[in-house]
Amino acid sequence: MLGFLGLLAMAMEAPGVSFQNLMETMRNFQESRVLLAAVELDVFTAVGQGGTAAEVASRLGAHPRGTEMLLNALVALGALTKSRGVYRNTPETARYLVAGSPDNQRPALMHTVHVWKAWTTLTDAVRAGTAVTPPGVEGRDPQWTQAFIAAMHRGALSAAPAVVAAVGAASVRRLIDLGGGSGAYSIAFAQANPELQAEVLDLASVVPIAERHIAEAGLTGRVKTRVGDLLKDEFGSGYDLALLSSICHMFSPEENRDLLRRTFRALVPGGRVVIRDFILEPDKTAPKWAVLFALNMLVATRGGATYTEAEYASWLQEAGFVSIERPQSDLILARRP
């Protein structure tokens, strides 16, 4: 009789991914973990202008044997070079992963280190149907929050111009950025329209980070902050644009229904809501990154997931919104009558 692997190999002969490719994917975590360990230890900063394994280990406060093995693996992956026992950064790792570089991405990549740790609970989360570690931003270690917001800020900087272009800023006078994180989207809208006033609402642990980015952009007078809880607070009134960027995936369907009802009340007649998020195809098996992100929400939140366009449309209609449209793949817009 065929064993499990034989049966699985036969099954993989059908159209789709080959069994060999699946096996390779299963092993890919090893390379990922090498790089994440290097980020977590700040290996690239320790390597600096170069050093032997013993020198790097001393700078890290780590064991020479383990350090040498990790450094050799990083060379094998192309993240370091090695010549006559001396390890050096590549131009890319020197630019993006060394402290002091203006392009240093380590603060944001520390969020990926934290995500790895959450994903190790996936089996238990599937059994439980929810996160098995404490979810949420509030109450986390400050370093976790800083890494999370740094990662969100990095993504927002590249996405914000396209969102502003798709939504339009010319007619916006008052914007509320719900769960606005670093304030990157509010900053982008304010830069596009000198008459626009924005308000970033987020948790007490996040607001100081937003205030720092707003000050650096020279927009302290026009982009304000407010401490609030998206799950229970009223948002005020008189806004003509409400932005929910990378927010709805953190919440359950019922939580999103309630969130959109309160968002509706915050808008003036004719005001618009903008949802930017991962949006699934109707059968929820594509696009792949949105499907995988649903699992990210399973391991990290109580009830979060990724959702289809039809689900968002249903919740918006229930809240009273009309003129629902999808101007780009990750955006849904609607209007209060």
Cα distances (angstroms) measured from residue 326 to each of 41, 128, 132, 166, 323? 42, 34, 34, 10, 10
Please tell me the predicted confidence (pLDDT) of residue 136: 60
Is the domain defined by 128-335 classed in CATH 1.10.150.120? Answer: no
Of the candidates 148, 119, 137, 139, which has an alpha carbon nearest to the alpha carbon of residue 298? 119
The Cα–Cα gap between 254 and 258 comes to 6
The verdict on whether omega for the bond into residue 282 sits within 30 degrees of 0, i.e. cis, is no
Rounded Cα distance between 36 and 46, Å, is: 15
Both tokens of residue 129?
């149907």
**pLDDT at position 4, please?**
42
* Residue 38 one-letter amino acid: A
What is the distance between the alpha carbons of residues 270 and 317, in angstroms, rounded to a whole number?
A: 15
Say if CB 18 and CB 12 are below 8 A apart: yes
Within the chain, which residue ranges are assigned CATH 1.10.10.10? 4-100
**Positive or negative torsion for Cα 147, 123, 259, 275:** positive
Residue 274 in contact with residue 334, Cβ under 8 Å?
A: no
Q: Can you tell me the distance from the alpha carbon of 188 to that of 185, in angstroms, rounded to the nearest whole number?
A: 5
Tokens of 259: 């969130």
Average confidence (pLDDT) over 8-31:
76
Q: Where in the chain is the domain with CATH 3.40.50.150?
A: 128-335
pLDDT tens digits, one per residue of 293-309: 999 999 999 999 999 99
Whether 131 and 302 have beta carbons less than 8 Å apart is answered as yes
CATH of span 4-100: 1.10.10.10
Categorize the per-residue pLDDT at 17 as very low, low, confident or very high, splitting at 50, 70 and 90. Answer: confident
Per-chain mean pLDDT for the chain? 92
Residue 75, Cα to own-chain centre: how many angstroms? 28
Among the listed ranges 65-79, 150-164, 186-200, 239-253, which one has the minimum average pLDDT value? 150-164
Distance CA 336, CA 268 (A): 7
- Cis omega (within 30 of 0) on the bond before 287? yes
Q: How confident is the model at residue 7 (pLDDT cuts 50, 70, 90)?
A: very low
pLDDT of residue 148: 77
CA pair distance 300, 236, nearest whole angstrom: 29
Digit-coded pLDDT (tens) for 75-128 = 999 999 999 999 999 999 999 999 999 999 999 899 999 999 999 999 999 999
Instruction: Tell me the C-alpha distance between 61 and 57, whole Å.
Output: 6
Q: For the full predicted model, state whether its pTM sits above 0.75.
A: yes
User: Which residue type does 192 have?
Assistant: A
Task: Indicate if the pLDDT at residue 59 is higher than 60.
Answer: yes
Answer whether residue 12 shows pLDDT above 50: no
- Separation CA 242–CA 267 (nearest Å): 7
Banded pLDDT at 11 (limits 50, 70, 90): very low
- Which H/E stretch holds residue 269? strand 267-276
Q: Return the percentage of the chain with pLDDT > 90, whole number.
A: 86
